[in-house]
Amino acid sequence: MVRTIGVFDSGVGGLSVLQHIREALPEANLIYVADSGHVPYGGRSAVFIEARAMALTRFLLSQGAEAIVIACNTATAAAALPLRKQFSKIPFIGMEPAIKPAVAATKSNVVGVLATVGTLESARFAALLDKYGGKVKIVTQGCPGLVELVERGDLHSAEARRLVERYTAPLLEKGADTFILGCTHYPFLAPLIREVVGEEISLIDTGAAVARELKRRVDTELPPRVKLGVVGSETFHTSGAAERATLTMGQLWGKDVVVEVLPQAYS
């Protein structure tokens, strides 16, 4: 029997994490849900985000998911604890800004964080700052509009460059040599960010670390599965418009995909 893993995000950004999960678990069937009908989560209340996370989790479980990745920093901050309490037998793997590796990487002792306002204002982020930020200066920058760019598949336009320049400039001015990409949408903008800030700036995201943690927990907490030597499948769902999602998700995933609309009970 093939392992089944569920992954959800506020939109298409979690595909950056799904790519790492596919590499870590090549034989698993992956179910991805983009909550694009409600994107972005950054300006939403914690109560709203928790309700959406509960609904998306119930859908993934109905499709046979044995473990779930919350591929969204904002949703992790708002809903990881309630989800683990409500579905206590299911392994949940969340996201968090990579402050620890960024602190280890910086040479200027200044780390910049690009993230949604929701992530920056969360208690989870504050706790990470308390735990790891004492050794260096952490400079944060909320980035309204970047998630929406990625949702449109707009990764290289003049508007995208203008926003990236606006949000990275304060971090550069304060001497940051290491930037944390604190939202799963942002790795898709990494080539543009690299063009703007230059080669000497380190860009750090947590997708690979999340995939490693998922594999560790799957291997230790779930019943063993026979190794089949085959590549697992991917299925894609959205709470938004299927046509728009099909175009954008295919662009970001790197090949054509079929995207199904979530049943109304979960939308």
Domain segments of the chain: what residues?
A: 4-95+207-266, 99-204
Q: Is 143 a catalytic residue?
A: no
Read off the pLDDT of each residue in 176-199 and give the average, rounded to a whole number: 97
54 residue type, one letter: M
Task: Please state the φ and ψ torsions of residue 237, each to the nearest 5 degrees.
Answer: -135, 155
Residue 130, pLDDT > 90, answer: no
Judge whether residue 132 has pLDDT over 70.
Answer: yes
**Which of 201 and 225 is assigned the larger pLDDT?**
201
CB 119 within 8 A of CB 42: yes
First to last CA, the chain: 29
Active-site hit among 183, 193, 204, 245: 183
Q: CB-side exposure of 188: number of CA atoms within 13 Å?
A: 30
Domain 4-95+207-266: CATH class, spelled out: alpha beta
Of these residues, 21, 56, 69, 72, which one is catalytic?
72
- Confirm whether 4-95+207-266 and 99-204 share one CATH topology: yes
pLDDT of 133 reads 78
Known active-site residue 72: yes
Q: Would you state the pLDDT for residue 61?
A: 98
Report the pLDDT averaged over residues 58-63: 98
Q: Whose CA is closest to 71, among 122, 16, 150?
A: 16
The tens digit of pLDDT for each residue in 61-75 reads: 999 999 999 999 999
d(CA 217, CA 1): 18
Reading the block at residue 1, the tokens are 């029997």
Tens of pLDDT, residues 216-257: 999 999 988 766 677 899 999 999 999 999 999 999 999 999
Decide if 114 contacts 145 (C-beta within 8 A): no
CATH number at 99-204: 3.40.50.1860
Q: What are the angstrom distances between the C-alpha of 90 and each of 58, 86, 174?
A: 11, 9, 42
Q: What is the pLDDT of residues 99-125, one digit of tens each?
A: 999 999 999 999 999 999 888 988 889
Q: Does the structure show a pLDDT above 70 at 170?
A: yes
